[in-house]
Amino acid sequence: MSMNDRTPKTFHVKSFGCQMNVYDGARMAELLEAEGMTAAEGGAEADLVVLNTCHIREKAAEKVYSDIGRLRREDGSRPMIAVAGCVAQAEGAEIPRRAPSVDIVVGPQAYHRLPEMVAKAKKGERALDTDMPLESKFGALPARRKQGPTAFLTVQEGCDKFCTYCVVPYTRGAEVSRPWNAILDEAKTLIDRGAREITLLGQNVNAWNEGEGRGFHDLIAALDRLPGLERIRYTTSHPNDMTEGLIRAHAEVEKLMPFLHLPVQSGNDRVLKAMNRSHTTDSYLRIIERVRAARPDIALSGDFIVGFPGESDAEFEDTLRIVTAVNYAQAYSFKYSPRPGTPAAEMEGQVQAEVMDERLQRLQALLNQQQLAFNQATVGRRTSVLLERNGKKSGQLIGKSPWLQSVHLETNAAIGDLIEVEILSAGPNSLAGAQLMRNAA
Ligand code: 5AD
Ligand code: SF4
């Protein structure tokens, strides 16, 4: 039986998975605040808990059920529970069947309807909405609130690429680009509220386009002209959408940071074909070459999957080979996880868990080595750092280098300042620096 005999006054949104979910989670929080609710100090005490879930791999998807169980309090009561995000989209009504304490199930394209759903749940009715409505949720969202120095801005959602392992085309739907004006208006608001860096987000962000009109690089050029904005980033990209214009932007747009997350997934052409990646190792390497020619100091990042069905030892070795050839500044690597409804889940030759473990270890050892080498190569360099948050020690602040490295330093500058720093030392995950001078800006 539902226990929601009272109106939720406080809420807690917990986001898992990609940065798109972080953005969506922040939008949901604003939506609930616009309804008069306030964010609970500690999540455990909130009247409404929104689990903003990820479905990309099985482990992430299963996590939601243990999280729901953990929401029960010592006195046996529980908050109103909403499951949002990609598990909501993929599993829909199956969720309350498995976890009857769930009151609300809302997909990533329908969360602007969350307040109505809360009202319904209050009456003890279960509310489920996994529509992908044509009208955009963005138009229905309230104004942005106070903003830190770095902001995410979703410009594109969904994916039409249908890689055979991936649930995203099913959970996030077809590729949709937000309108030019809506994006620029949101960017201006973010800057007015204090953002100095904007990361443009999309499942295939570089596929953003206006049909026959402007492309993603035009959007970057427009952001570049916004006063007050210092840094532009974007993620995540598909090799096939690395246009000449975008590559040129890396040479020409000063605010565009020298960092590119460009997943290749595998270094073997047979595997890439079976993944339906529609690029080859060669075409990928050629793009990397052109990007490096445009911006020689660019930091490269990628995603890799080991143990895709049918992947042989030799084919896995090809992945190590492409990693060696590219030399990444950082990367994400995963064991293949069969996802219901995707073609790869039905393929022959599913790879044994132990084999995947061993491959992942070898790949990560190589990637970690490259990451450390990349960090160490910045020691002695003078570079800008955008201060984002306080460090653990007093007087210590943490910011980001242009190459997305965390930099720790002692300074009396403030969060949001862009300062000049000399890098003093490097570890695998962060750098230490010293401030050179206070920027005039
Ligand atoms: N199994 C393992 N990794 C996956 N990814 C996407 N689907 C799967 C899957 N079924 C990885 C890809 C993608 C990243 C976001 O997650 O590397 O780029
Ligand atoms: Fe998934 Fe491939 Fe689309 Fe990326 S490009 S979201 S991996 S289907």
pLDDT for residue 213: 87
- State how far the Cα of 256 lies from the Cα of 239, in Å rounded to an integer: 18
Q: What are 177-209's pLDDT values in tens digits?
A: 999 999 999 999 999 999 999 999 999 999 999
Share of the chain above pLDDT 70, in %: 96
pLDDT at 332 over 70: yes
Question: For ligand 1, atom 7, which residue shows the shortest CA distance?
Answer: 166
**134 exposed, middle or buried (CB, 10 Å; 0-12, 13-18, 19+)?**
exposed
User: pLDDT-based confidence at 1, cuts 50/70/90?
Assistant: very low
Tell me if 261 CB under 6 Å of ligand 1: no
* CB-based contact 113:90 (threshold 8 Å): no
Which residues, other chains included, contact 62 with Cβ-Cβ below 8 Å and sequence gap of 6+?
Answer: none
Question: For ligand 1, atom 18, which residue shows the shortest CA distance?
Answer: 303
pLDDT for residue 4: 44
Q: Classify domain 382-438 by CATH architecture.
A: Beta Barrel (2.40)
pLDDT at 419 over 50: yes
Q: What are 63-92's pLDDT values in tens digits?
A: 999 999 999 988 889 999 999 999 999 999
* CB-based contact 137:112 (threshold 8 Å): yes
pLDDT for residue 139: 74
- State how far the Cα of 40 lies from the Cα of 49, in Å rounded to an integer: 9
Task: Classify domain 10-129 at the CATH class level.
Answer: alpha beta
Tell me if 166 CB under 6 Å of ligand 2: yes
- Residue 336 Cα to ligand 1 midpoint, Å, equals 7
Strand residues in 60-146 grouped as ranges (E): 80-84, 104-106, 127-129
Counting atoms of ligand 1 from 1, which one is nearest the CA of 333?
17
pLDDT at 441 over 60: no
pLDDT for residue 438: 57
Nearest CA to 151 out of 188, 204, 114, 112 is that of 188
Ligand index nearest the alpha carbon of residue 351 = 1
- State how far the Cα of 430 lies from the Cα of 427, in Å rounded to an integer: 5
Tell me if 335 CB under 6 Å of ligand 2: no
pLDDT for residue 240: 96
Domain 141-377 superfamily per CATH? tm_1862 like domain (3.80.30.20)
pLDDT at 2 over 60: no
pLDDT for residue 132: 84
Counting atoms of ligand 1 from 1, which one is nearest the CA of 303?
17
Q: What are 237-290's pLDDT values in tens digits?
A: 999 999 999 999 999 999 999 999 999 999 999 999 999 999 999 999 999 999
Counting atoms of ligand 1 from 1, which one is nearest the CA of 338?
10
Ligand index nearest the alpha carbon of residue 266 = 1
Question: For ligand 1, atom 14, which residue shows the shortest CA distance?
Answer: 303
Largest alpha-carbon pair distance within the chain? 63
Over residues 15-39, mean pLDDT: 93
Q: What are 92-103's pLDDT values in tens digits?
A: 999 999 999 999
Domain ranges for the chain: 10-129, 141-377, 382-438
